Each structure stands twice: as C-alpha cells, then as structure tokens.
Amino acid sequence: MSAPTPVVDPYDPKPTFVQRHAERVAAAVVFVLTIVLAVVSFPPFHAPEFAYAMLVPGVLWAYRRPGFRIYATTLLAAQMVAWTILLGWLHNVTWVGLLLLGPFVGAWIGLWYLAAWWVMPRMTGRPNFTRILAIVALASVWVIIEWTRTWLLGGFPWLPLAASQWERATILQVAAFTGAYGVSFVLVIVNLGFAAYAHRLFWEGAKGFAKRSQEFFFALFLLLACISIHFQEAFHRPKFVEPLARVAFVQPYIPQEVKWDPAKRTAILKVLEQATLAAATAKPDLILWPEAVTPLAVQTDDALKQFVGSLAKQAQAPLLFGSIATVHPNQPDERWMNGAFVVRPDTGLAPDYYAKRKLVPFGEFVPFRPILGWLSKFVPIGEDFSAGTDSSPLILPLRRELLVAGPLICYEDVFPQLARRSVLAGAGVLTVLTNNAWFGEGGAAYQHAAHSVLRAVETRRPLLRDGNGGWSGWIDEFGGVRATVVNEDGSIYFRGIRIVSVTRDARWIGRESFYVTHGDWFVLVAFVLALLGAGLLKTLGAPKPLPVNDDADESLA
C-alpha cells in the first residue's frame, strides 16, 4: 500500500533560498570571513586585533555539525587562498613558487580546523572543566602545527599567529618564557573563547547566569596574565635604561637586476662609499650595511678589502656588513657561504666571520638536488651555497666597550632556535642583515620585521636590523619598535641613512631569559595537553544532540 500523498497548504510560506541551501550559504559566509580576517590580521595591515577573531567563523560553524566534506573543503580552501594572498610578494621572484608555497602552507595550517570539527560538537552541554580542557587541547594542536613548520620540508615558519601582534608588545611578553608559541596559544584560546560565548548565547538557549561561558573567562584570564607580565617586565624599564651605541643604518637600495652585474660594481661601491661617509659625519659608534651588499667576495678581492678598510678608518667606527664568504678559495673544493663580516677602523677586515646557518631553498641552494637538479636558483651566483654551523658571535669594538653581536642573515630571524643559540653563545645584541628587495615594495618587509620583534622578546636582547631597502631599525628587549628607518614621506623603501641612539636594559645584561635557557619546552607541554584532551573527548563518545533555540539563525544550522 503506497504512502498517502502529503497535503500541501498553498498558503504556507515557501522556503527562502537561504533555507533551501543553508549549508552552502554557511560555507560561503565562513569562506569569505576566514580569508578576510586571516589576511588583515597580519602585516602589512595594521589591524592585529582581528587576530583575536580570525578563527571564530570556522569554529562557530564546527559547533553546528556541518558535513565533514563541505567543512574540510571550505576551511582548507579558505586557508590556501588566504596564504597565497599573504605570500603574494613572492610573485616578484617566482609565480610558480607562490602558487606552490601559498596553498601548501595554507593547507598545512588549515588542518587545525579538522580537529576543531571533531572537538567543538562534543563541547555542547559538557561540564566546564571538559570544555576548558577541550579548547586548551585545540590551542595546543595549533602550537604543534606551528612547531612542525620550523622543520617540515626544510622549514618555513613564516608568520606564526604571534607575528600578528608585532605592534602590540603587551601580549608578547609571555614569549620570554614560552617562546612565540605561547603568544599563539593565548590568541587561539581567545578565539575559542569568543566562539564559545557566541554559541552559548545564541544557539545553546542558555538563560540568565548559565549564559556565561567559562571558556571566555578563561581566555580573559590568560590575557590578563600576559598583561601582568608586561607590567612587571616593561613598565619599569625607564629606570634601567642605559646608552648602548649610536648606530648608523645604511640602506643602499641596490636593485636586484644590477646587484650581480659586473658592469655595475663600481657604481655599487660608490653608493656604499657616499652613504657611509655621510653617516660618518655624525660620528656613530657602529655602521651597518645589509646582507650580501658587496658585489664581490670580500675575502678574496684585495681591492675590495682595502676599500672597506679605508671606509671604516675614515669613519672611525667599525663596520658590520654582509658579503659572500669563501672556504678554500680558488681550490677544487671551494665552497661559498652567505657571511657577515666586521671591519675594524684600526686593523681592517677581521679574520673571523659568521656564515649563515639556514639557507633559502631555491635562493641559495636547490633542495633534493638529485631529484630537482633540473631546477635552478633564482639567485644568479654560482652553485649551491654551503650552510654554516657556528653560532659564535662577532666582536664589535665600539668607542666605549666591546659589543658582542649575534648575527642573523636574511630570514634566519624567522627561526627562533637560531637566535636562541646565538644568545647562548654569548651575544649581547642581535643583528639582522637582510635584503628584501627581491620581493618588491609590498608586505614582505613588514612581515619579515614582525619576526625580529618576536626574537627580541624571546631572548631579551636589543635587535638591530638593516635591510637593503627596508625594513631597518632597532627593537628593544620587550619588542618595542624604538626606531624605524623611513624617508621624509614615511616610506621604508628608499636609499639613505639614519643615525639612531640605541639603549639597553641593564637588568638583562649577561642574563638569559627562561626561553633561552630551556628552549621549546612549551611545545612538549602542548603535545601532552593535546593528547589528554583528545583522550578525554574520545571517552565522551558521540556529541550530544543539538539544543533547540527558535531564535537561532537557521543559516548556520
């Protein structure tokens, strides 16, 4: 017997487009919001507050139990698009690299949302302890994903979530204990707290006191803890500030298309000479040039060696600069390195130099050369570079004292362990010599500088940064950007110099931060917390039925 035909009341309102396609509409809304919030949270935009909510759309949607396929596709695609936009400056060098790296990094970070899809539905109706442990576990998963980016496929930990706060030193101080991972952890907790509060308020149907979300208040507690560290560490800094040095930052802004042209060597050296002698009139204690600034390897070219020695002598100040370093020059086993050198005003080029420890894939070497040997580097200098292994600092003879500097070259300041090892080796100040001119005048320089802020806080060391055309300046031990080298129009992209009086905090002279002493202990804690949370939630079984709230927006149902 066939089922009776349902009676359709012609006066019943027809379902709207949103009601008929609720899940697809929700996916579109979450897709767009996730991209926009992720992009504007990071430099070059100056809106770090959006980082406190950039995960909320995807997390709220996970509460509503969408199908796994549409959820995973939407959030992974959103992250892939967002990161392709964030890394858009790569197109100045390689479109292929951008279209490979952007989606890969985005997808890798987007895996976090798959954990959120599994966890969030299980939180509804659970005791407060369970809900708080769940968000702690999710934040720990985020930390683990960021940590894997430091070594996965050679490592590219560009723009951890903590980097979004590079202009907000208040929340950064916990990094001196946990590394930047602790800052990312707190930001994820805040995102989860906001999402939990919104879901409890609008979808769980809670009334009165029950509307309060303990996850949200736990997030506020962590924020207040970060603020208290800031007040303890940074509020009294003026009482302990002492002069360190007058530093001349030289930005030669040599275009990349002429940097290695033999016909342009004389013109390049002339730019360096004019800028350095102009800086010398202010009688600085130290002069900085950027990464690989000389058109020849300074060790093996006698004329260049005499040139830099003469400049340092005329300026009566030591010169720290980047140049190609050679091992066993003019021998069959000759190797090239990306180095940092010191020129003393009295004795000329110092024999000791620093060799870059972390090389740029396809810039300084071709990874997996037996397989990818048909690919070439985009830097037109010989064969693959060799990586250095020594973290020993360089000694800079200032007028009043010897300054022990820990050099970092190019994007080495993106890797927290490199800066940490330099400080363990005795560095009293970190110096970053870089060349972002490869990537145009977009967001790369600002994004790169954000990592230097994190390294300064983690190590509690002043950081001096000199770029070919920006970003140049100095950052104090608490992540405060004390000076930025800009022109009269406020742009960091220009050829010129600036003299800056750099200070230091006497409390941190010869003292190591907790992070420098103990390293990435917080990552190990994150592993433990993630496993504990996953184990507890697994024992709870399937999610409880969704509460009914007639006032809720059905588009997210």
90 shares its domain with 113: yes
pLDDT digits (tens, 9 = 90+) for 252-305: 999 877 877 888 999 999 999 999 999 999 999 999 999 999 988 999 999 999
* 373 pLDDT tier (thresholds 50, 70, 90): very low
Question: Is residue 202, in this structure, part of any structural domain at all?
Answer: yes
70 shares its domain with 94: yes
Question: Half-sphere exposure of 229 toward its Cβ, with a 13 Å CA cutoff?
Answer: 19
Which CATH number covers residue 360? 3.60.110.10
Question: Is residue 5, in this structure, part of any structural domain at all?
Answer: no
Model confidence at 518: pLDDT above 70: yes
Model confidence at 27: pLDDT above 90: yes
Q: Which string of DSSP letters, residue by residue, matches 368-403? A: THHHHTTS--SS-SSS----------EEEE-SSSEE
Interval 315-340 mean pLDDT: 88
**Six-digit token string for 35:** 């991209």
376 shares its domain with 426: yes
246, 501 Cβ separation under 8 angstroms: yes
Q: Which residue has the higher pLDDT, 313 or 21?
A: 313
23 shares its domain with 135: yes
* 9 pLDDT tier (thresholds 50, 70, 90): low
Model confidence at 375: pLDDT above 80: no
397, 344 Cβ separation under 8 angstroms: yes
Model confidence at 549: pLDDT above 60: no
Distance CA 417, CA 369 (A): 26
Q: Which string of DSSP letters, residue by residue, matches 67-80? A: -HHHHHHHHHHHHH
Question: Is residue 4, in this structure, part of any structural domain at all?
Answer: no
Interval 423-427 mean pLDDT: 98
Helices (H), 281-351: 302-315
Question: Phi and psi at residue 475, in whole multiples of 5°?
Answer: -125, 135
224 shares its domain with 273: no
- CA torsion, points 12, 18, 22, 28, in degrees to nearest 10? 180
Lowest mean per-residue pLDDT among 48-52, 101-105, 197-201, 518-522: 197-201
Interval 236-243 mean pLDDT: 90
In eight-state DSSP terms, residue 101 is: H
Select from 65, 72, 69 the least CA-distant residue to 120.
Answer: 65
274 shares its domain with 354: yes
383 shares its domain with 288: yes
**Six-digit token string for 375:** 């690919």
Model confidence at 238: pLDDT above 70: yes
Model confidence at 104: pLDDT above 80: yes
**What does pLDDT average to over the chain?**
89
Question: Is residue 352, in this structure, part of any structural domain at all?
Answer: yes
Question: Is residue 10, in this structure, part of any structural domain at all?
Answer: no
246 shares its domain with 187: no
Model confidence at 58: pLDDT above 90: yes
253 shares its domain with 181: no
Distance CA 234, CA 145 (A): 30
Lowest mean per-residue pLDDT among 118-127, 328-337, 468-477: 328-337
Question: Is residue 12, in this structure, part of any structural domain at all?
Answer: no
Q: Indicate the residue type of 230.
A: H
Interval 142-162 mean pLDDT: 93
* Domain assignment of residue 179, given as a range: 17-235+526-556
Question: Is residue 344, in this structure, part of any structural domain at all?
Answer: yes
pTM of the predicted structure, to 2 decimals: 0.92
Q: Indicate the residue type of 496.
A: G
Share of the chain above pLDDT 70, in %: 89
389 shares its domain with 287: yes
Model confidence at 207: pLDDT above 70: no
* 20 pLDDT tier (thresholds 50, 70, 90): low
164 shares its domain with 253: no
465 shares its domain with 354: yes
How many domains does the chain divide into? 2
